[in-house]
């Protein structure tokens, strides 16, 4: 046609099938673009877990090492009987006693808040909004001078500062991209490794050289490692699987690399890896005071005795670690009497 301009490829009329294909590609490309980080949960909609004026008795002070001493939440001054409120919207995933204290856990998606000690007024599965009453403060808190509410915040196994959820602290808690999270995790791992190397080398060396064998109990058994009890035998909220179940042994807070010593003469019955118990070893001690006794050792880095080998009391059988379902270095000790699982401290 006279006066018409020659068509170039980008000016041609696109047929309907091709137009649909182009539109689809554009939509997919838009969906692939990174989205802004969402609040976790939004601080503007949050509330304090207590009504009235707020006074912080003790701040968040996480340990350098995950299993070390620290303060994994904040303590807020309160009176026994005060209402305890959900700090953010979510769903109740746990409500019941833990180690003799009432605990409520509210999931907010990527994070979850914890409240203790409380008498619970909500059931698992209940949806709550910021400010919803979930219980009342009870006695039994770890605050000695006055009653308090211990308020915690976690993302996975990582403890966060719950004050970041407070209405006055906008934007301190947020979701991050996978790349940023990987960098942060690597940096945290490097700091933990450095702290462990500085703090633990001398302790492990001393325990190895000293040939530690503690005093024997009523049945002649000696402690397998130095260190205090960090978790007793009995029902508890599992720290990794987050389910209410029996803690089938006694945990001793020994450092990684600490020698594990046979508490009594016996023979290695089995040694293997278990997904939950990690590196595991069982010692058969035969008849002791009229009872058939078997002891079990879990989460070790490795063992230095083999199946069928006879061991003497105080002999090193392995080294404390954190393998399997474990949140930090410790020894998980188990005892069977006449084939029945028993609280180790009853025998010791």
Of the three residues 142, 165, 188, the one that is the final residue of a domain is 165
In a domain, 241, yes or no: yes
Residues 159 and 224 in one domain: no
Residue 200 φ then ψ, to 5°: -100, -25
pLDDT at 66: 56
Q: What CATH number is associated with residue 253?
A: 2.70.70.10
> Within this chain, do residues 260 and 136 fall inside the same structural domain, yes or no?
no
296 within some domain: yes
Three-state DSSP state, 80: coil
DSSP-derived secondary structure letter, 14: P
Residues 216 and 334 in one domain: yes
- Find out whether 153 and 113 touch, Cβ atoms under 8 Å: yes
The pTM of the whole model exceeds 0.85: no
Instruction: Report how far residue 233's alpha carbon sits from residue 276's, in angstroms, rounded to the nearest whole number.
Output: 16
Q: Name the residue range of residue 329's domain.
A: 196-347
Give, for all 348 residues of the chain, the pLDDT tens digit.
Answer: 444 334 433 433 444 445 544 454 444 444 344 333 333 444 446 789 998 888 888 888 776 555 556 678 899 999 999 999 999 899 999 999 887 889 999 998 888 999 999 999 999 999 999 999 999 999 877 887 789 999 999 888 788 888 877 765 433 333 334 444 455 445 444 444 444 344 344 434 444 444 445 556 678 999 999 878 888 888 766 565 566 667 889 999 888 899 999 999 999 999 999 888 999 999 999 999 999 999 999 999 999 999 999 999 999 999 999 998 887 899 999 999 999 989 998 888
Q: How buried is residue 275: exposed, middle or buried, by Cβ count under 10 Å (0-12/13-18/19+)?
A: exposed
Token couple for 159: 């403890």
* Residue 206 and residue 156 share a domain: no
Q: Is residue 38 part of a domain?
A: no
* Domains identified in the chain, total number: 2
């Amino acid at each position: 046609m006279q006066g018409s301009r020659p068509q170039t490829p980008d000016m041609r009329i696109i047929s309907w099938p091709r137009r649909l294909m182009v539109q689809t590609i554009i939509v997919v490309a838009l969906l692939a673009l990174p989205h802004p980080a969402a609040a976790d949960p939004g601080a503007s909609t949050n509330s304090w877990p207590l009504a009235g004026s707020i006074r912080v008795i003790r701040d968040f002070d996480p340990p350098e090492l995950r299993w070390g001493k620290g303060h994994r939440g904040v303590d807020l001054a309160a009176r026994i009987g005060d209402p305890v409120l959900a700090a953010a919207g979510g769903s109740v995933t746990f409500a019941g006693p833990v180690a003799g204290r009432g605990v409520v856990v509210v999931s907010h998606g990527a994070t979850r808040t914890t409240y203790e000690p409380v008498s619970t007024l909500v059931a698992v599965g209940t949806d709550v909004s910021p400010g919803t009453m979930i219980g009342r403060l009870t006695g039994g808190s770890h605050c000695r001078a006055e009653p308090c509410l211990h308020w915690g915040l976690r993302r996975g196994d990582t403890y966060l500062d719950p004050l970041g959820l407070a209405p006055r602290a906008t934007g301190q808690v947020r979701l991050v991209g996978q790349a940023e999270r990987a960098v942060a995790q690597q940096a945290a791992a490097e700091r933990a490794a450095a702290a462990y190397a500085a703090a633990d080398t001398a302790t492990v060396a001393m325990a190895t050289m000293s040939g530690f064998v503690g005093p024997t109990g009523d049945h002649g058994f000696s402690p397998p490692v130095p260190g205090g009890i960090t978790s007793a035998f009995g029902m508890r909220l599992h720290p990794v699987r987050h389910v209410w179940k029996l803690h089938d042994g006694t945990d001793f807070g020994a450092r990684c690399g600490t020698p594990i010593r046979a508490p009594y003469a016996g023979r290695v019955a089995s040694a293997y890896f278990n997904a939950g118990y990690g590196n595991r070893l069982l010692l058969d001690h035969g008849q002791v005071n009229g009872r058939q006794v078997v002891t079990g050792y879990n989460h070790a880095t490795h063992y230095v005795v083999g199946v069928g080998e006879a061991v003497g009391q105080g002999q090193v059988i392995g080294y404390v670690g954190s393998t399997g379902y474990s949140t930090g270095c410790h020894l998980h000790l188990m005892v069977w009497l006449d084939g029945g699982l028993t609280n180790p401290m009853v025998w010791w």
